[in-house]
Structure 1
Amino acid sequence: MSKRGADATDDLSAPLKAGDRPVADAPPDEVGEFEDEFEDEFESEDEILEAGVDGRPDAEREAEEQRDEMDVDKQAYMPGRTKLAPGETLSPDPSTYEMLHTLSTPWPCLSFDIVKDSLGDNRKTYPATVYAVAGTQAEGPRSKENELMILKLSGLSRMEREDDEEESDEESDDESSEPILESKSIPLTSTTNRIRAHQIPPSSGDYSKPPTTITASMLENSQVVIHDVTSHLSTFDNPGSILPPSASKPLSTLRIHKSEGYAIDWSPLHPVGKLLTGDNDGLIYATTRTEGGAWVTDTRPFTGHTSSVEELQWSPNERNVFASASSDGSVKVWDVRSKSRKPAVDVKVSNTDVNVMSWSRQTFHLLATGADDGQWGVWDLRHWKPNTAGGSSQLRPKPVASFDFHKEPVTSIEWHPTDDSVIAVGSADNTLTLWDLAVELDDEEGRDAGLADVPPQLLFVHYMESVKELHWQEQMPGTIMGTGSAGFG
């Protein structure tokens, strides 16, 4: 990121949790639109020709352009260290991105999930396509306008580079395109706190058929609604198809929680659907889909947290095990078969709220957490000992790695889907950062580079206003989608 003169930036906002939400202005009439700050200033060839013939000598015009370029301060921006002067804002350096697009929606969507598609894995060609689901944050008198949004983002082109001029015209045409947003919506009765998608394989075992895609939305009114969005997704690839009114009806509405919540996760090892939900009372419930398609919630909650449950994560390799993170500063590990409904392991990991958590799907004993004080760390679960028969042990083991680079609360964290050393972190300091735990740098190299206070594991810093949630697009290596108060990126 580099600095440039512009309007002053907005104030930082706190992480979305425990009932705190940003106040949104009235939305535009459009469903949503891409915003390309790198697009051409002039729309047509006539405008370009007219702009070039302005009566001034070429040398004079070139000199003015050079002066304009010098107004941009290309100093690197470091969160919590670089101070923006009045009238300054941040501008991305296009040369550091393979792809970069921004997208605005009528209302902020501060939680979303990426939907796996049938376009293939390990995709590296452009233009790219991404499918996602999101929940809106309409507040106040317009809260009835909230909806579940099903999105298709296509025509996502690669950044143009100087060496691209050497490519053939045919190859350039394939990679350059205008981004397109298509969307379908399902009305919701309340603001969405958190949304997660899950795919169920075809019951016939015929994997040539598409999976059933369902979503679970935790709402501000404490309800959890489950929808089947398969038909909505199919309309993107079948123009002209019409959805029946029944397509927007929930498969189930769970009313087991007495308070709202932000913690939700689908089990990757229960194909038909097993859902965990946690609320601000510290209670966790498990809901299972039966073979007949009904949704059954166990009325006995998992108890043990003394404050709100902020994050839930199923184990990637143990179908009966999950972990929970709480604003009480602890992470607990549970076995759903336990009759006591108490945690098997109870670990104090922070003196502040533990906002977010991610379980590595490559190295199953590694768990990453992010807290309200800006610290995030990685823990080796093999060092966490089970509780004694007398109850909670509240262990305080040392993390495998810990970083206090961010000076504001950590709002999102997620392991790279295939690299067990790379982690993406979102923070209320308006940045999304990438880290590689395998990187080492000795003290002398750090001093020579002038980066003594910057961890060598920090790979990349992306500015994103009030970032709330991020996810890797697993089928497109290196691609991350994030959301914040100003839209998606």
Structure 2
Amino acid sequence: MLKRSSWVFLHAYLILGRFRNKVSIKYKEGSHTDSVLGLAWNKHFRNILASASADKQVKIWDVIAGKCDITMEHHTDKVQAVAWNHHEPQVLLSGSFDRSVVMVIQRLLSLIRMEGCLQILVSSGRSQLTLKSLAWDPHDKHLFVVSLEDGTVQGFDIRAAKSGSASDLKPSFTLHAHDKAVCTISYNPLTSNLLATGSTDKMVKLWDLSNNQPSCLVSKNPKAGAIFSVSFSEDNPFLLAIGGSKGTLELWDTLSEAEVARRFGTTTS
């Protein structure tokens, strides 16, 4: 028997139009009209799911009621990723092929309208760069990182941005992390400043972001092919799950690495 969480996840796939079989499916009103590229649960409002799509839209769903509550069209190209702020549950970040990151503030208790919007243009010295992923820092509500197709990772502090309009906010740091696209990034949930990155160059790397001066602690080829997903475990924070083009799941005990243990090992005690 499926657990409740599994049913909710299946339900989410159904209402987002991603479930496929031979049976004709009647999609929910408000469904995306193109591929869904990103999903994000709101950890404070557990029935709330955000979705990003190639139809240029960001949607907010009530998965218990099985309906789309809000549709946002603030991007001009495919929306690649969405992420809820860990400390401010009404704040949603979205990243698009239009090279912008948009922070939206929602009234989630009523789910009726957009309260505010901040757009940040992302650049790395080239005019046509695709944003691959983004993530809020779970230890600081003002910080987030984005990764780009040229192998760079950029960090931002929203306190330096001008509210209510497009902003040329400069990154706090720009890191040339990989030789190819950085498809995935994951903050360690236990200790601050520890970031994992994965790339189509087949490498996974661990970074210390202290003082906005990133340093590489260790790099590894997990033999998973091009890396599409990395994620630290919430229950075992130094265990990193890795998924790649070979279709296998790899696990990395990052605390077994001497440099990680030296810098962050004391946080486990």
TM normalised by structure 1 equals: 0.45
Flag the 1:382–1:146 CA change in 2: closer, same or farther, 3 A: farther
C-alpha displacement at 1:130, in angstroms? 6.5
Q: Tell me how far 1:369 sits from its aligned partner.
A: 0.4
Task: Return the alpha-carbon distance in structure 2 between the equivalents of residues 321 and 346 of structure 1.
Answer: 14
Deviation at 1:289, TM superposition (A): 1.0
Length, aligned pairs only: 241
* Cα RMSD after superposing both structures: 3.1
Q: Deviations over 1:139-159 (max 9, x none)?
A: 9xx9x95858xxxxxxxxxxx
- For the pair 1:351 / 2:169, whether they are aligned, the reply is no
| 1:191 aligned to which of 19, 35, 45 | 35
Output the CA distance in 1 between the equivalents of 2:47 and 2:114: 16
Summarize the Cα distance change of 1:147–1:313 in structure 2 as closer, same or farther, 3 Å threshold: farther
Question: Which position in structure 1 is the counterpart of 2:50?
Answer: 216
Alignment of structure 1 residues 126-137 onto 2, 5 Å:
131-132=8-9, 133-134=12-13, 135-137=16-18
SS class of match (2:159) = coil
TM superposition shift of 1:406 = 2.3
Match of 2:78 in 1: 260
Give the corresponding residue for 1:303: 122
Following the alignment from structure 2 to structure 1, what is the Cα–Cα distance between the partners of residues 195 and 85?
Answer: 16
Following superposition, the deviation at residue 407 of structure 1 comes to: 5.6
Q: Give the drift of 1:367.
A: 0.3
Question: Paired residue for 1:64?
Answer: none
Q: Is the 8 A contact 1:262 1:278 kept in 2?
A: yes
Question: Larger Cα Rg: Structure 1 or Structure 2?
Answer: 1
Which residue of structure 2 aligns with residue 321 of structure 1?
A: 143
1:147 and 1:195 map into 2 onto residues whose CA distance is 18
Equivalent in 211, 215, 226 of residue 409 of structure 1: 226
Deviations 1:374-394 (A, max 9, x none): 101110111642xxxxxxxxx
- Tell me which protein shows more strand as a share of its residues: 2
- The answer to whether the 8 Å contact 2:152/2:177 transfers is yes
How far did residue 137 of structure 1 move?
4.0
2:216 aligned counterpart, secondary structure:
coil
Shift of 1:131: 4.0
| Distance in 1 between residues matched to 2:98 and 2:75, nearest whole Å | 9
TM-score w.r.t. structure 2 length? 0.78
The corresponding residue for 2:264 is none
Equivalent residue of 1:438, what SS? helix
For residue 299 of structure 1, report the CA deviation from its aligned partner. 5.0
Aligned: 1:421 with 2:238: yes
Contact 1:313 1:358 in 2 (8 A): yes
Say which of 53, 61, 64 aligns to 1:227: 61
Preserved CA contact (<8 Å) 2:147 2:182: yes
Residues of 2 paired with 1:373 and 1:263: CA distance?
Answer: 21
The residue aligned with 1:336 is: 158
Q: Deviations over 1:238-292 (max 9, x none)?
A: xxxxxxxxxx2x3221111111022211111013x11111111321110111476
Aligned with 1:337: secondary structure?
helix
Stretches of structure 2 that go unaligned for 5 or more consecutive residues are 162-167, 259-269
The structure-2 alpha-carbon separation of the partners of 1:147 and 1:415, relative to structure 1 and needing over 3 Å to count, comes to farther
Distance 1:254 1:428, change over 3 A: same
User: What residue identity is the alignment partner of 2:73?
Assistant: R
**Greater RCO between the two (CA within 8 Å, min separation 6)?**
1
Distance 1:131 1:374, change over 3 A: same
Q: Give the aligned residue type for 2:142.
A: N
CA gap 1:334/1:147 in 2 versus in 1, 3 angstroms: farther
1:315 partner amino acid: D
Percent identical pairs in the alignment equals 22
Instruction: Give the gaps of 5 or more residues in structure 1.
Output: 1-33, 35-100, 102-113, 118-128, 149-184, 201-210, 233-247, 386-396, 442-489
Would the aligned equivalents of 1:259 and 1:279 in 2 still touch at CA under 8 Å?
yes
Q: State whether residues 156 and 171 of structure 2, in contact with CA within 8 Å, keep that contact through their aligned partners in structure 1.
A: yes
